[in-house]
Amino acid sequence: MSIETPRWPGGARMAVVVTIDFNDIHDIVAREPSTEGREKTLSVWRYGARRGVDRVLDVLDKHQVRASWFVPGRVAEEHRGLVGQIHAAGHELASNGYRCEIFDKLDLAQQQEAFRRGHGAVAEAVGEAPVGFRSASGNWAPGFADTLRAAGIRWSSSWRGDDLPYFHEPLAAPRLVELPLHYELEDEPYFAFNLYPPVPPGQSRIASYRDVLDNWRQDFAGFRRYGLCYLLRLHPEMIGTTGRIALLDELLGELRGQSDNWFTTGREVADWWAGTQPPNAPGHPVEIFARHIAELPS
């Protein structure tokens, strides 16, 4: 079976998208409600706004990389200055609920409400409506894709299932493009840590920084071999420490050194994909999923 070779613009071999989840404390509070009110614990995550965002911005600027930043509405309200700086530096601002709600626990109407409130707050903070969206937990209810489309969202980076972009069902215009995730391209599975309450739940050791960089390099080599879309998902409080920011610096330096990598934002990949690529092939994970959802008893 042959491997599809996508053609990226300008003869690029692959696409590289850096995404940053700037969630402050809201993601950890949503996931681990027992963290609420525990200031030492929360300060682990507050480090992003205090120190990490600046470091990440500096490294992105050094390598002339524009990233896509997902910001929940509450963060746009509470950190208006920082969010404005991110926007002013030329990065894409994208949407992520109001308080990083775990959509799995909400029905469709509640998901729509969280999205609208979050989307509105980010739009107000930066003066333009985001066209990208990420569901913090990766999930949403059937029908939610229509909500996103109706609100002008053109791309999501929430689901998995591929290493190229694909279209969400239904395929009605305007198409909603998914830029799928891979855990090994996220910093959180390697670096998140808190003593009590324990994060991660088994309180495993913080990974070797050197090994993580090596893994990301090797993942990159594989994505490049097959001409895919390499999408990092980073958190300013994790990658933006004084010791770890050098990993991003080193990685971006190497990747920027190859002139045929298309460094771009989620929005630009999505627009290119929607404008040039045929519908998903039959049997695509997203199509199988939609087919089974439609057959389920309501």
Partner 1 sequence: MPASSDRSTTVDAPVRWPGGARCAVALAFDLDGPTGNALIDGSIWRNPSFFTLGAYDVWRALPRLLDLLREQGLPATFFVPGWVVETWPERCRAIVADGHEVAYHGYEHEAFWQLSADDQRRVMARSRQIFENHLGVVPVGFRTPSGDWAPETAQILAEAGVVYSSSMRGDDRPYLIDIPGRERPLVEIPGRWELDDYASLAYQRNPNFPAGLDRIASYAATFDNWRREFDGTHRDGLCLTTLFHPKVSAKPGRLLLLERLFEHMRAADGVWFARCREVADWWLAEGHP
Tell me the C-alpha distance between 217 and 220, whole Å: 5
Residues 179 and 17: beta-carbon distance below 8 Å? yes
How near is the Cβ of 266 to partner 1 at its closest, in Å?
A: 17
Give the distance, in angstroms, between the CA of residue 89 and the centroid of all CA atoms in the same chain.
18
Q: Does 140 bind partner 1 (CB under 8 A)?
A: yes
The 8-class DSSP code of residue 102 comes to -
How near is the Cβ of 36 to partner 1 at its closest, in Å?
A: 20
How near is the Cβ of 233 to partner 1 at its closest, in Å?
A: 12
Q: Does 228 bind partner 1 (CB under 8 A)?
A: yes
Q: Which amino acid is at 172?
A: A
How near is the Cβ of 62 to partner 1 at its closest, in Å?
A: 25
How near is the Cβ of 285 to partner 1 at its closest, in Å?
A: 3
Q: What residues numbered 37-56 form the site for partner 1, per CB under 8 A?
A: none
In the numeric block, which tokens belong to residue 47?
A: 């480090």
For residue 57, give the nearest of 89, 29, 83 by alpha carbon.
89
Q: What residues numbered 143-162 form the site for partner 1, per CB under 8 A?
A: 158-162
How near is the Cβ of 146 to partner 1 at its closest, in Å?
A: 15
How near is the Cβ of 114 to partner 1 at its closest, in Å?
A: 17
Q: Which of 13, 42, 116, 139 binds partner 1 (CB under 8 A)?
A: 139
Tell me the C-alpha distance between 99 and 137, whole Å: 12
Nearest to partner 1 of 71, 290 (CB atom): 290
Tell me the C-alpha distance between 76 and 93, whole Å: 10
Q: Which of 10, 37, 202, 257 binds partner 1 (CB under 8 A)?
A: 202
Binding string, 230-269, against partner 1, x = CB under 8 A?
A: ----------------------------------------
Helix (H, G, I), strand (E, B) or coil at 34: helix
Kind plus residue range of the DSSP H or E element containing 80: helix 80-88
Q: Does 219 bind partner 1 (CB under 8 A)?
A: yes
Q: Which of 205, 259, 275, 278 binds partner 1 (CB under 8 A)?
A: 205
Q: Does 292 bind partner 1 (CB under 8 A)?
A: yes
In the numeric block, which tokens belong to residue 160?
A: 């998995």
Helix (H, G, I), strand (E, B) or coil at 177: strand
Q: Is the backbone of residue 154 left (phi > 0), alpha (psi -120 to 50) or beta? A: alpha
Cα separations (Å) of 35 from 32, 95, 102, 123, 134? 6, 24, 15, 29, 23
Residues that bind partner 1 (CB under 8 A): 1-3, 104, 135, 137-141, 158-163, 180-184, 189-190, 200-208, 211, 214-215, 218-223, 225-226, 228, 283-286, 288-289, 292-293, 296
